[in-house]
Amino acid sequence: MINKLERSYGVPSWQPNHDPLGELIATILSQNTSDVNSDRAYAALRAAYPTWEAVLRADADEVAAVIRSGGLASLKTRRIQAILQTIQARYGRLDLDFLMDMPMAAARAFLAEFPGVGPKTVACVLLFACGHPALPVDTHVHRVTTRLGWLPRGCTAEQAHTVLESLIPPPKVYSAHVNLIRHGRGVCKARQPDCAHCLLRGFCPFPQQSAPEGSRQPASAASAKLFHAGNRSL
């Protein structure tokens, strides 16, 4: 199914937007807000404080005022400065480039120690800045993979990180992440999914499950076989 997504949306090329520490800060700023607002907050932060040392030394209220466009500014300021303080105390410099050479499991454990850094934030740093095959599960990825049946019933977005990484081959993780988001935004929308024009319709049980009760048809052995074959060829 990932190959089908690539044929439709293309094969995305991995390019880091930030170094690992910059990606960590940017992802914290992106929590509970839109990409537009978080990008604006990150740009304002870097413009006001050209180094992370300056952010660490700055008055917390002043930093919060700078990043206010990202929402939850006081909370995010506390988290960012606490992380910077911890890194400075441990390593004597504000730099996380060593994560790029660290085994993914060790890098994940390292990042997870910081307050306010959950599985999605960790995966964003590992994938986008370090090139590790960690899969960030946002609302689009969670929705699409749930409808496709890749996730067990009741699987939360946090739990989905482990499940999906076990299903998707490491070389395909970046492509899967980007294209599942594209598919979720353009076709497999939350309220009105365009199932009739979905390129994954033949592998997806969601249209049948969401049909009106009286119009549902029993799944045939052939369709069940097709669905399981699709899951084996993610």
**pLDDT tens digits, one per residue of 75-97:** 999 999 999 999 999 999 999 99
Asked if pLDDT for residue 216 goes beyond 80, the answer is: no
Residue 65: per-residue pLDDT: 98
CA torsion, ordered 37, 38, 40, 44, to nearest 10 deg: 140
d(CA 123, CA 177): 11
Q: What does the mean pLDDT of the chain come to?
A: 91
pLDDT: is 205 or 223 the higher one? 205
Q: What is the mean pLDDT of residues 126-138?
A: 98
- C-alpha separations of 64 from 115, 116, 150, 225 in Å: 18, 16, 40, 54
Helix (H) or strand (E) holding 108: helix 104-112
Domain with CATH 1.10.340.30 in the chain: 20-129
Q: Is 234 or 220 the better-scoring residue by pLDDT? A: 234
Of 21, 24, 23, 29, give the one whose Cα is nearest residue 45.
29
Residue 221 has pLDDT above 90, yes or no: no
Q: Which of 4, 120, 172, 225 is catalytic?
A: 120
**76 belongs to the catalytic site:** no
Which CATH class for the 20-129 domain?
A: mainly alpha
> Does the pLDDT at position 146 exceed 50?
yes
Domain 139-211+218-232 has CATH 1.10.1670.10: yes
What's the average model confidence in pLDDT over 116-123? 96
Burial class (CB in 10 A: 0-12, 13-18, 19+), 231: middle
Asked if the model's pLDDT at residue 220 lies above 60, the reply is no
Domain with CATH 1.10.1670.10 in the chain: 139-211+218-232
Residue 116 C-beta-side C-alpha neighbours within 13 Å: 18
What's the CA gap between 87 and 181, in Å, rounded? Answer: 32
Band (pLDDT 50/70/90 cuts) for residue 207 is: confident
Residue 106: burial class (beta carbons within 10 Å; 0-12, 13-18, 19+): exposed
**Which pLDDT belongs to residue 125?**
98
**How confident is the model at residue 210, as a pLDDT?**
60
Q: CA-to-CA distance for 76 and 63, rounded, in angstroms? A: 10
pLDDT at 222: 35
